[in-house]
Amino acid sequence: MTEAPPGTPAPHLPREGRDAAADARIRHNDYGSLRPHDLGDGEPRLTVSVVIPAYDCQEALDRTLACLAAQTYPSHLTEVVVADDGSDPPLRIPELAPVNTRLVRVPEGRWGRGWARQTGAATAGGDVLHWIDSDMILDREHLEAHMRWHHLASYAVVLGDVRFTPDEAGPSAQEVFSAVESGDAEKLFATSAPHTWRAGVLEETRWLRDAGAGAYRLHSGATTSVSTALLRSVGGVNTTLNMGEDTDLGFRLAQAGAVFIPDPQARGWHLGTSTVMRREKEVHRHNWSVLPDLIPDLRWLRSHPRRHWLVPYVHVVVDARDASYEDVRATVDAALAGTVVDVAVTVVGPWTALTGGRRSSLDEPLLDMRLTHNLYAHEPRVSFAEEAPRTSAPAPFRLTCPAGWVLGADSLAELVKLAEREEYGLLSVVLDEGAEGVRAIRLERTAAFARAALLIAGGHGDDTLTTDATDSVVHELFGSFWAGADQFDLTTTGKAEPVTGDPAKWRADSARWRREAKRLEGEVKDLRAEAERLRAEIGQLEGKRPRGPLREIIATAISQGKTG
């Protein structure tokens, strides 16, 4: 039970569990094919680092550490890291705590849940990192329940089952230890209940087995575990976030191929109601100001038709090598002008060969590349790369399009719509066929290709990451589909209509048409009123004139609305 500076690794955990998890092939988020051992059975070998971000909560921390001291998962495979987020007075490790417990502090000048979580994670030495809030009490088999899944799949993200207790004084640390050790943790509380929204999602999705790409939305820092390698592959916790950091991390883990597994036997109790439960509207008001930039999947928060977002919904890759300036421009401009506005484009080519030295402006060897770079040098949605990026994460989709092929206004929207509706991992649109084979546009689901890469690399090594091998695994786990270019309004540069029109202008025109229609409706109403007035005057005049039989018939018809 010691204090260590930030960045200090854990030297005491054994290494035999590293990379030992067998990887089952899980379709979408349906983890039903996994068969974890019963609690109390099995031979655990993976190490786990329990990270507790904490701030000014010594009494609550004492209770959480007491329950961890009574866990059934082997103590020699477990370490606990408490990340003190600048508490005053500083937090301390009590006597009643797991043997391998240490304290780290958030760097001076830094603060917040994001920094606390990342500070603890940076020093973790376990195969698996298990987040726990500092106001949680865990059942004695909680860690064991989590860890049995990680022995089956290295890309599992396990979610504990959290119940909330009334807002009242909690038990003492000694009472917690005694109850948890004897298997009576539930008796510590007179009553407890799950979060209603979470319980509803679990019921509707067969405990996330049918949740598909949206399973990450239940990711919470209260009690969640993830492979340390997977966590670090996505960059760890976003330290700029003090709220919503768990949702952001869950989304990025999903794009890295994670499967989210809620375990009802990983029981835990949150002392008191959560901030979300007490102040839901205020939490949403805050989080919905930051999360739209980071999570393009939250489509209802990206309703603005013209602004730019940090993370694109679709990352378009265009290979400009051996292509004309006109072909590249037609393809890139069409991608940027479609109805899916949160798009980013990477143009691939030998950009480092474009020197700044003296050259012939009209006759240099790489003139087409130069013109392309000139055109998009200051377009914030366009970047340049020597090779296609290995992944488009955290963007959920990548579209690879040959230069010279042009998307229609709705082509990308329709492709993504099909992929989302059917949960496909890959859509291929046949363009043409030549000596080199079939040429196609590819819409790739980032999560699907990330999971395929994990499985192939884990089983055979990186040298087998060929396109055919990866596509085969993606088809197995997510499904794929082939279509023709005419189905999605794709054409070539020479046949494409010029990219014109402005959505803002269309909206202005639409508003103008609505105003004109409203004005005309008013005119029609006025004309009808005038007609009724004239009809009444005619009736009055007719009534003053002597009437013969014919006039009586006409007057009766007018009054019944049968004429005029």
CB 493 within 8 A of CB 330: yes
Give the gyration radius of the chain's Cα atoms. Answer: 32
DSSP secondary structure of 155-224: TEEEEEEEEE--SSPPPPHHHHHHHHHTT-GGGG-S--EE-HHHHHHHHHTTTTTT-GGGGGGG--SSEE
Q: Hey, CA dihedral for 331, 487, 449, 435, is it positive or negative?
A: negative
The pLDDT of residue 169 is 86
For the chain, the structural domain boundaries read 44-298, 314-495, 505-559
CB 431 within 8 A of CB 402: yes
Least confident of 23-27, 188-192, 195-199, 509-513: 509-513
The pLDDT of residue 10 is 44
What proportion of the chain, given as a percentage, has pLDDT over 90? Answer: 74
DSSP-assigned beta bridge partners for residue 441:
429
CB 336 within 8 A of CB 381: yes
DSSP-assigned beta bridge partners for residue 82:
52, 103
- Three-state SS for 423? coil
Q: Chain-wide mean pLDDT for the chain?
A: 89
- Overall average pLDDT of the 508-535 stretch: 80
- Overall average pLDDT of the 172-189 stretch: 95
The pLDDT of residue 505 is 54
Q: Do domains 44-298 and 314-495 have the same CATH topology?
A: yes
How many angstroms separate the CA atoms of 559 and 564, rounded? 11
Structure-block tokens of residue 320: 């400009």
Structure-block tokens of residue 327: 């072909």
**How buried is 316 (Cβ within 10 angstroms: 0-12 exposed, 13-18 middle, 19+ buried)?**
buried
Write the pLDDT tens digit of every residue in 311-322.
Answer: 999 999 999 999
- Overall average pLDDT of the 323-332 stretch: 97
Structure-block tokens of residue 76: 């020699």
DSSP-assigned beta bridge partners for residue 51:
81, 131
- Three-state SS for 490? coil
Write the pLDDT tens digit of every residue in 459-487.
Answer: 544 445 678 899 999 999 999 999 999 89
Write the pLDDT tens digit of every residue in 119-140.
Answer: 999 999 999 999 999 999 999 9
- Overall average pLDDT of the 543-548 stretch: 62
Write the pLDDT tens digit of every residue in 388-416.
Answer: 999 999 999 999 999 999 999 899 999 99
pLDDT confidence of 554, banded at 50, 70, 90?
low
CB 221 within 8 A of CB 237: no
The pLDDT of residue 545 is 63
Task: Please determine, for residue 35, whether its predicted confidence score (pLDDT) is greater than 50.
Answer: yes
Task: Please determine, for residue 338, whether its predicted confidence score (pLDDT) is greater than 60.
Answer: yes
- Overall average pLDDT of the 519-540 stretch: 85
Q: Residue 322: CB partners within 8 Å, gap ≥ 6? A: none
- Overall average pLDDT of the 208-218 stretch: 96
- Overall average pLDDT of the 344-365 stretch: 94
Task: Please determine, for residue 22, whether its predicted confidence score (pLDDT) is greater than 50.
Answer: yes
Write the pLDDT tens digit of every residue in 100-116.
Answer: 999 999 999 999 999 99
Task: Please determine, for residue 5, whether its predicted confidence score (pLDDT) is greater than 70.
Answer: no
pTM for this predicted structure: 0.85
Q: Residue 361: CB partners within 8 Å, gap ≥ 6? A: none
Task: Please determine, for residue 544, whether its predicted confidence score (pLDDT) is greater than 70.
Answer: no
CA atoms within 13 A of residue 318's CA, in its CB half-sphere: 31
Please state which of the four CATH numbers 3.30.420.40, 3.90.550.10, 3.30.70.1450, 3.40.1390.20 is assigned to the domain occupying 314-495: 3.90.550.10
Write the pLDDT tens digit of every residue in 225-283.
Answer: 999 999 999 999 999 999 999 999 999 999 999 999 999 999 999 999 888 888 999 99
**How buried is 476 (Cβ within 10 angstroms: 0-12 exposed, 13-18 middle, 19+ buried)?**
middle
Question: If phi over 0 gives left and psi between -120 and 50 gives alpha, with beta otherwise, what is residue 308?
Answer: beta
Task: Please determine, for residue 86, whether its predicted confidence score (pLDDT) is greater than 90.
Answer: yes
How many angstroms separate the CA atoms of 450 and 433, rounded? 29
pLDDT confidence of 12, banded at 50, 70, 90?
very low
The pLDDT of residue 57 is 95
How many angstroms separate the CA atoms of 430 and 357, rounded? 42
Write the pLDDT tens digit of every residue in 491-505.
Answer: 999 988 888 766 545
Least confident of 62-76, 146-160, 421-435: 421-435
Structure-block tokens of residue 147: 């860890």
CB-CB neighbours of 268 under 10 Å: 21
What proportion of the chain, given as a percentage, has pLDDT over 70? Answer: 88
Cα angle 99, 103, 109; round to 5: 170
Quick one: which of 108, 113, 98, 122 has its CA closest to 55? 113
Q: 44-298: what fold?
A: Spore Coat Polysaccharide Biosynthesis Protein SpsA; Chain A (3.90.550)
Task: Please determine, for residue 538, whether its predicted confidence score (pLDDT) is greater than 90.
Answer: no
Task: Please determine, for residue 525, whether its predicted confidence score (pLDDT) is greater than 70.
Answer: yes
Q: Residue 54: CB partners within 8 Å, gap ≥ 6? A: 60, 61, 82, 83, 84, 85, 87, 91, 116, 134
- Overall average pLDDT of the 419-429 stretch: 97
Quick one: which of 119, 126, 125, 127 has its CA closest to 103? 119
CB 58 within 8 A of CB 90: no
How many angstroms separate the CA atoms of 233 and 239, rounded? 16
The pLDDT of residue 82 is 97
